[in-house]
Amino acid sequence: MSDALLKVEGLDVLFTSYGQTRQVLRDISFTVGAGERVALIGETGSGKSVTAKAILGTLPRNATVSAGRIEVAGRNVLELPRGERDALKGSAFSLIMQDPLSSFNPVFKIGTHLDDVLRFADRREGVKSSRAERRARIAAVLRRVQLADPDRVMNAYPSELSGGMRQRVLIGLALLHQPKLLIADEPGTALDVTTQDEILNLINTLVAEEGMALLMITHNLGVVRKVADRVVVMRHGDIVEAGPCAKILASPEHEYTIGLLDAVPPLYGPRVQTQQISAQAPIVSATGLGKEFGRHGKRFTAVKDVSIALREGEIFGLAGESGSGKTTVARMMMGLSRPTSGSVSVDGTPNPGRPLAQIVYQNPGTSLNPKRTVKQSLGLPLKYAGLTGGARDARMAELMELVRLPVSYLAKYPHELSGGQKQRVAIARALAADPKVLILDEPTAALDVSVQKTVIELLLQLREELGLTYFMISHDLSLMRNFCSRLAIMLRGEIVEEGATPEIFADPKHPYTRALIAAIPVVTDDEERHKPAVSPEERAAFLVKTTD
């Protein structure tokens, strides 16, 4: 394409660390035409962000571009002097940053932040502008990202805005100079699914209205379907497949893409957890649980009148967005936190003093002590279970086998393991004391989708082998559809809907459940068609406000 806005050709990037040089990008070539929406998709370590950094000229110091060209509007930016390259930023392309909180300096008001950006850009171009005039331009841009009261936003500190609003401001920031190409690095990833959905809609609207081109960096195939015309699939620094979005998602050719698509839990179709647990006595039951936080009169009700009966052998899922109170409920049910009202009984005994369940945490990076080996981490619960010497070593080997890790990994430190391996160690540690119940606190949220699939499969197998009961907390409804046998949906501290998983997905009763399901980015048209209908009033009533 000769009129390509962005043309990357044969790009090789090397990283040097600890005296070793590694190639992290190999022969990357793709183009983004005017008005075209292209997605770079890949998992951890695929090189998608390195590619974006190479385009933006923000590679870390130990990186070198060893071959290739990056043409923006017909000029090879790699050969441009620093100043000219900087001048391209903003006018030719600009970046929407990923993390809406850390992208702002917390001590400056939003208006000051935006004004600085504009002032420096004007100075660079030798344009004189007054503060009032810049303020008007900022207000106009904020209106374009659907923030209806720009004055209020400009006078607010970053912490006073919701995550969605901050993300909107970041998009506005990228629009300040009417760029021809927007580069978006995982926008909305840090936000709740309903908010993310709105942000993606906004990006789509803006790109269509302004005729901008979009380069979207993401790991989420559903996001790709929603915002891209073409997809470039990357793995380990190579492009494995590229083509029109519809074609790649419907009939991928490369086995990696096929595997990636297969790993995404579908929102519609046969892969739903249908197993039902017959009316057994509940292993843990909570009645009228409530929890308040805060003191000195300023009290905040996190959980209100929640009753749950966890039956032996089931996989119970508690779904909700951030701040819904789902983690607080799980902690109270497992005796890790004392309820303000209501009671928990275990096997018929009310309010047990000690935890009866083990937890698998969301982020294995923080749930394993970085200074202790796998052996030491596993050894701890075994020591308190009274195992020593040979018996303990045998049990450790058994646990490693259970989670499908080689016994030799016992000597490793967490940083020597991949995310999936770390999570397996965390699962092994949770299993060490032979618990009846495992709490799974978003056990795969920090993992790549292909790794998520293997961890979920492992959990299902372990449940078969050991007869475990799972209590899962998550915001990912499509994953829960494939994993949990029963679901409860939480909104602002209350359970709004509860039932067997297939029933909830077939006929969601509560409008919030419908809104949640509808917001999930999906991969196929089939899934899109089967999403429940949500009226604008329902959206407005239940979704966190991202505008003002």
Partner 1 sequence: MAEVKMALDGANKDLSASYMMWYRFSRNPAAVIGTLIVLSAVIFAILAPYITPKPEDVGAVVNFRARHLPPDATHWFGTDKVGRDIFSRAVFGLRISLLLVIGVLGISVPIGTVLGLAAGYFGGWTERIITGLTNVMLAMPPLVMALAVSNLLQPTLMNAMIAITLLWWTWHARLIYAVSKSVASEDFIEAARIAGAGPMHILFREILPNCVSVISVKTTLDAAFVILFGATLSFLGFGVKPPTPDLGSMVADGRQFMPDFWWEVLCPGAVILYVTLGFNLLGDGLRDMFDMEG
* CA proximity to 183, closest of 81, 99, 89, 59: 89
Distance CA 384, CA 425 (A): 18
Interacting residue with partner 1 among 352, 355, 502, 532 (CB under 8 A): 355
Task: Tell me if 336 contacts partner 1 by CB under 8 A.
Answer: yes
Task: Tell me if 366 contacts partner 1 by CB under 8 A.
Answer: yes
Distance CA 253, CA 244 (A): 12
Task: Tell me if 333 contacts partner 1 by CB under 8 A.
Answer: no
- Name residue, tokens 């790699």: 78
Type of residue numbered 162: S
- Name residue, tokens 């021809």: 180
Interacting residue with partner 1 among 2, 3, 18, 348 (CB under 8 A): 18
Distance CA 472, CA 490 (A): 13
Task: Tell me if 370 contacts partner 1 by CB under 8 A.
Answer: yes
**How many Cβ atoms are within 10 Å of 545's Cβ, its own excluded?**
10
Type of residue numbered 271: R
Distance CA 381, CA 455 (A): 22
**Choices 14-22, 33-41, 87-95, 222-230 (CB under 8 A): range interacting with partner 1:** 14-22
**Choices 202-210, 242-250, 269-277, 355-363 (CB under 8 A): range interacting with partner 1:** 355-363
- Closest separation in Å from C-beta 14 to partner 1: 11
**Helix, strand or coil, per DSSP, at residue 304:** strand
Nearer Cβ to partner 1, position 419 or 511?
419
Task: Tell me if 433 contacts partner 1 by CB under 8 A.
Answer: yes
- Closest separation in Å from C-beta 296 to partner 1: 17
**Choices 19-27, 77-85, 311-319, 521-529 (CB under 8 A): range interacting with partner 1:** 19-27
Task: Tell me if 416 contacts partner 1 by CB under 8 A.
Answer: yes
* CA proximity to 199, closest of 219, 210, 184, 213: 184
Task: Tell me if 371 contacts partner 1 by CB under 8 A.
Answer: yes
Angle at 456 between CA 392 and CA 407, to 5 degrees: 30
**Choices 88-96, 136-144, 378-386, 539-547 (CB under 8 A): range interacting with partner 1:** 378-386
Within positions 30 to 69, which residues make up the interface with partner 1, using CB under 8 A?
A: 44-45, 47-50, 53, 60, 63
Task: Tell me if 338 contacts partner 1 by CB under 8 A.
Answer: no
**Choices 353-361, 451-459, 474-482, 536-544 (CB under 8 A): range interacting with partner 1:** 353-361
Nearer Cβ to partner 1, position 397 or 433?
433
Q: If DSSP states are collapsed to H, E and C, what string results for 389-401?
A: HHHHHHHHHHHHH
**How many Cβ atoms are within 10 Å of 366's Cβ, its own excluded?**
11
Sequence-separated (6 or more) residues with CB below 8 Å from residue 65? 11, 12, 13, 54, 59, 78
Within positions 211 to 250, which residues make up the interface with partner 1, using CB under 8 A?
A: none
Tokens matching residue 3: 């009129």
- Closest separation in Å from C-beta 333 to partner 1: 14
**Helix, strand or coil, per DSSP, at residue 384:** helix
Interacting residue with partner 1 among 55, 432, 518, 543 (CB under 8 A): 432
Distance CA 41, CA 373 (A): 34
Interacting residue with partner 1 among 4, 6, 8, 24 (CB under 8 A): 24
Q: For 300, phi and psi rounded to 5 degrees?
A: -125, 125
Interacting residues with partner 1 (CB under 8 A): 15, 17-20, 22, 24, 44-45, 47-50, 53, 60, 63, 336, 355, 358-359, 361, 363, 366-372, 376-377, 380-381, 383-385, 413, 415-418, 426, 429, 432-433
